[in-house]
Structure 1
Amino acid sequence: MVPPRYPVVAAAQASGEVSWDRIDLVTKALVDWEKLLPVDGNNVTVETLAEAEELLAGQARVFGGRQLGQVIDRIAGWLVPDGMLDDRAAQDAVRELEVRPIRRGMHKGMYRVEGRLTGDAGAKALAMLDPLAKPQPVVDESGRVVERDHRDRGQRMHDALEEALDRSLRAGELPAHGGTPATLILIAGEDEFVAGTGAGVTETGDVLPMEGGARSVG
């Protein structure tokens, strides 16, 4: 049997004293800090990680949610006291981005995006998305606002990302995927395609509506 990656946390979980959500929070923090082991200029060592695991396992027995998150933040401040503002090596070590389909629940059919961008990547993302995310009210011929943009900031940023993706796909400058140009392929019946109604199925098995943006991409 393979020994647990974090034995102290595993023991806390096995005892039934720590809930799954707390275990997940603690484990994610430890995995994050472990990535900094090869990076110089911080307090992350095998020994300090073991101390952090011991401390977190104990705190997770008492605290959860925001309070446990605050404990994790304090430990992170001890491990990396100067932060990562100018530490590109540390930022590179913990950079990540995941786009995962939601398979269950009320949001089934959507995607969850989680991650951390380096300072450079984040600045580029905002430079691209901010102009596209500006409110777009409806105006009449004289320029008078007839109806304001009812989308909130989060919705506008989502729509800005989708527009940026559409532009990138239409530009045809992405690397080929499997020998063909990068594109979004929907499989649908002829009637649905012509009428622009119903739904199409992507290569990954996700269902997208034929109406609107789904048909315009590709």
Structure 2
Amino acid sequence: MSDPRLSLLSTDELLRSIVGKVTEIRAREYAVMQDIAELNRRGAAAELGYKTLPQVLRHALRWDNQTAKRWVDQAVLLSSEITPTGSEITPALPVTAAAAAEGALSLDHVAAVAEAMKNLPAEVENLVVECARDHEPAAVRAFGKDLAYGLYQNDPEPRDPEPAPEGNRLTLRQNKTGDWKLAATLDALTGAKFATLLDPLAKPRPATEEGPDPRSLDERQGDALAELIDLMLRADQLPEHGGEPVTLTLTMAYQDLAEQVGHAVLDNGERVPADQVRQLACTAGIIPMVMGGRSQPLDVGRRSRLFTAGIRRALVARDHGCAFPGCHRPPKHCDAHHIHHWADGGDTRIDNGVLLCRHHHTLIHRSGWEVTIEQGAPVFYPPAWLDPLRKPRRNLLHTAA
């Protein structure tokens, strides 16, 4: 039966209660892992006649083998070791262990941090754990990958180089019924161009009296390709993103481009080597973006209610996608949001705008989340039920590298 006292709590109080209880559960899970680590240290499996400790836990706790092995692996990572001489060796992930003891991390978070740290030096564990304190495990894994790329992008190539890309291939066949079957393999840059063209045409149609768009994603993309072919035949009409013709935006420091080092980043986060960027500069239209001293795009466009194409390009250069903490959606899936609402007197300019995906745009309008621009970058403040101290947060996924 439900507790009648719960109905007396406000929604914020109820959410704070849930957060507090889950924190207690996570702290207790850490205590259980310490017990498991002690069983492992004393060789309990052999003492009890089992081959491995996970087998013991399977019978004792009715866990499946995968769950039992996961608990043992994480217990070893988060516990100290005692040498035969009595010396204590700190845990493999000491910062993670401290956060788990507080109840700040779940088992999934610990697994995500451990996965990320396989490719990172111990000195950055605190950065990965800070990300885990604020975001879900999937975001921690993405942050770890970007952080590793940023740290090692200039290292020598490994001894076993990655397989060479297959290049662009297209198979097009007509069957006996007259329909065409198509299969393609595209390199990263060509695939990004194609996805950029296809995306605005593949969005679900607005809901009508008959209900929402019934087509699956594959059906929408098939119809979008058919429409794209018609558009190309008409040549003077192209799909748009943010009020301007489809454009691939590459962000790169000018000095790196001039010296042919480093890489540029596409809207979707794909990295393009400097030599390919220089080739694009010769064969494609490049829109110059004047950057400030802190690599912040300067104000462009004119005052209006809607964000102009010029201002949107500047927001893309600054935010690189949805600016909400932990969101990885690329710019083409984002709206430009007025921080100080236009209807309330807010100006349409870069320092009053932020890119948000449709989900987080709705969330900002309807929830207790707040966003400001501080030192030229979007900063978000969570509602009090999520964090009573309302600690500021930023999206590290777009800036880790």
The reply to whether TM is greater than 0.5 is no
Shorter-normalised TM-score: what interval? 0.3 to 0.5
TM-score (norm. length: structure 1): 0.32
The higher radius of gyration belongs to 2
